[in-house]
Amino acid sequence: MAPKMLRFPNTGRRMPEKREAVLRRQDFLEIYSRFEPGHAVEQSGRCSQCGIPYCQLHCPLSNNIPDWLKLVAEDRLEEAYEISSATNTFPEICGRICPQDRLCEGYCVIEQSTHGAVTIGQIERTIADTAWERGWVRAPQPTTERPQSVGIVGGGPAGLAAAQQLRRQGYQVHLYDRHDRFGGLMIYGIPGFKLEKTVVARRVALLADAGVEFHPGFEVGRDATLATLRTRHDAVLIATGVYRPRDLQVPGCGLEGIVPALDYLIASNRKDLGDAVAGFDDGTLDARGRKVVVVGGGDTAMDCVRTAIRQGAHSVKCLYRRDRANMPGSQREVSHAEEEGVEFLWQAAPEAFVGDRPDGLGRVRAIRAHRIHLGVADATGRQTPQMLEGSSFQVECDLAIKALGFDPEPVAQLFDAPDLHVTRWGTVVTQPHSLMTSLEGVFAAGDIVRGASLVVWAIRDGRDAAAGIHAWLQKR
């Protein structure tokens, strides 16, 4: 083992420099800088190179984390990038937005020994950003061009990951998306302070250079049926993600000023990209000067509260029915939000929206909520919320954002494909290994199969689907 490793007893955990909250509240730029020269080398050297790499075991992509940490510690960044990109299609994206505190870093052996986890995510980002700067990232160049074509519906992380893998195999890849840009929620859902859009755009440009054909503004069901795509291509991959917001059915839910989280985030991201957005320009989706309450506790809720802060909201509160320990979102994101001025109302759930007119119409002016007691744990291990009688209180609000999660759209109906089997939750049914659906030659991957999940899982599914498509086409 290189003498540069196992330095965790004498070298403390260090993160890159983080911009002050008062500064980062004013823009949508990423909040962390890159590691200074030598810091990534120093921090990689903290790795214990343990016999059972729990960081790798708890990475959805099974990234060879100990191997590229060792290479970085030896200042061999180009080789580290080759190892990193062998399993991860978008290491510079995962390094920025993966909840490492719940995945690799959360299971780091030296974290369990109270020495503080290796800063895996920031080192991964440093490796990839350096690779881009030094020209080590190249478009896939297949050794043999194959005549078969594959149509991919959905330009998010699963679709893009599958496109890269299939193009590397020499297939003629066509990518369809209903939006005018490719990247899915990485472009329109995740704010720039977590992932600047140029990071995604350069990956899309790289795929275009590799020969992937892009079809923006294309909606299956409107511009063509799934059956039509099946006649155009030898195989089809459905990677549409899940976009339908879960609703909150309480009195007053129809008042003006109550908006779904994704509508709000898409409008903000489009403005950040320089687009004209009617819903933002008329004030409907603009938090400036407003008293904002976000209902929910996941990563989308954190994106909303931090976006509202940057838009200049008068106040921003997050209403969540469980406590901080039971929150599904990243604890790091909660800490960032608190630093930026977000107030959290833990163990509180909405029971009604209160309007400014006695007839129950008009605009929302408050949320009436009740306190929650956390009871015994359910099957998932999380404590069950129980309402406390007589605990109602009101929170002033003139913009309420519902961040309660997402469900699949009815793809079988939208695609005019009644033989496409879906579960009772609306997700597409696939075979376990090949990811083929009930339709021969039609595959599915990402959130449309597993439900709303992480970008890193979508990348894994896209890569697996590409392998399944390749195996199936070769058998034919």
- Name the residue with tokens 């086409």: 473
Kindly list the domain boundaries of the chain, sorted by start residue.
21-133, 149-242+408-475, 246-405
- Name the residue with tokens 């995962």: 94
What confidence tens digit (pLDDT) does each residue in 114-140 have? 999 999 999 999 999 999 999 999 999
Q: How confident is the model at residue 214 (pLDDT cuts 50, 70, 90)?
A: very high
What confidence tens digit (pLDDT) does each residue in 233-266 have? 999 999 999 999 999 989 999 999 999 999 999 9
Task: Give the separation between CA 98 and CA 111, rounded to whole angstroms.
Answer: 18
What confidence tens digit (pLDDT) does each residue in 67-115 have? 999 999 999 999 999 999 999 999 999 999 999 999 999 999 999 889 9
Residues 6 or more apart in contact with residue 281 via CB below 8 angstroms: none
Q: In the chain, what percentage of residues exceed pLDDT 70?
A: 99
What confidence tens digit (pLDDT) does each residue in 333-359 have? 999 999 999 999 999 999 999 999 887
pLDDT at 4: 81
What confidence tens digit (pLDDT) does each residue in 273-290 have? 999 999 999 999 999 999
Q: Are 200 and 93 in contact (CB under 8 A)?
A: yes
Task: Give the separation between CA 93 and CA 96, rounded to whole angstroms.
Answer: 5
Q: Could you tell me which residues are beta bridge partners of residue 316?
A: 292
Q: What burial class does residue 263 get, using C-beta atoms within 10 Å of its C-beta: 0-12 exposed, 13-18 middle, 19+ buried?
A: middle
Task: Give the separation between CA 408 and CA 232, rounded to whole angstroms.
Answer: 25
Write down the architecture of domain 21-133 according to CATH: Orthogonal Bundle (1.10)
Query: What's the whole-model pTM score?
Result: 0.95
Residues 6 or more apart in contact with residue 381 via CB below 8 angstroms: none
Type of residue numbered 130: T
DSSP annotation string for 256-321:
BTEEEHHHHHHHHHHHHTT---HHHHTSTT--TT-EEEEE--SHHHHHHHHHHHHTT-SEEEEE-S
The reply to whether domains 149-242+408-475 and 246-405 share a CATH topology is yes
Q: Count the Cβ atoms, other than its own, within 10 Å of residue 342.
A: 23
Task: Give the separation between CA 42 and CA 72, rounded to whole angstroms.
Answer: 9
- How far out from the chain centre does Cα 69 lie? 24
Task: Tell me 245's DSSP state.
Answer: E
**What is the chain's length?**
476
- How far out from the chain centre does Cα 208 lie? 23
Q: Count the Cβ atoms, other than its own, within 10 Å of residue 323.
A: 15
Cα 13-16-17 angle, rounded to 5 deg: 120
What confidence tens digit (pLDDT) does each residue in 414-449 have? 999 999 999 999 999 999 999 999 999 999 999 999
Residues 6 or more apart in contact with residue 52 via CB below 8 angstroms: none
Task: Give the separation between CA 431 and CA 444, rounded to whole angstroms.
Answer: 9
Q: Is 244 helix (H, G, I), strand (E, B) or coil?
A: strand
Cα 11-17-19 angle, rounded to 5 deg: 155
Task: Give the separation between CA 467 and CA 451, rounded to whole angstroms.
Answer: 21
pLDDT at 381: 76
pLDDT at 65: 97
pLDDT over threshold 70, residue 1 = no
Strand order in the sheet with 149-153: 213-215, 172-176, 149-153, 235-238, 442-444
pLDDT at 3: 61
DSSP-based helix, strand, coil % in the chain, nearest 5: 35, 20, 45
CATH superfamily for domain 149-242+408-475: FAD/NAD(P)-binding domain (3.50.50.60)
pLDDT over threshold 90, residue 330 = no
- The class level of CATH for 246-405 reads alpha beta
Round the average pLDDT of the chain to a whole number and report it. Answer: 95
What phi, psi does 56 have (nearest 5°)? -70, -40
- Name the residue with tokens 């699963």: 158
What phi, psi does 275 have (nearest 5°)? -80, 155
What confidence tens digit (pLDDT) does each residue in 11-49 have? 999 999 999 999 999 999 999 998 987 899 999 999 999
Q: Which residues of 346-357 are buried (b: 16+ CB within 10 A; e: fewer)?
A: bbbbbebbbbee
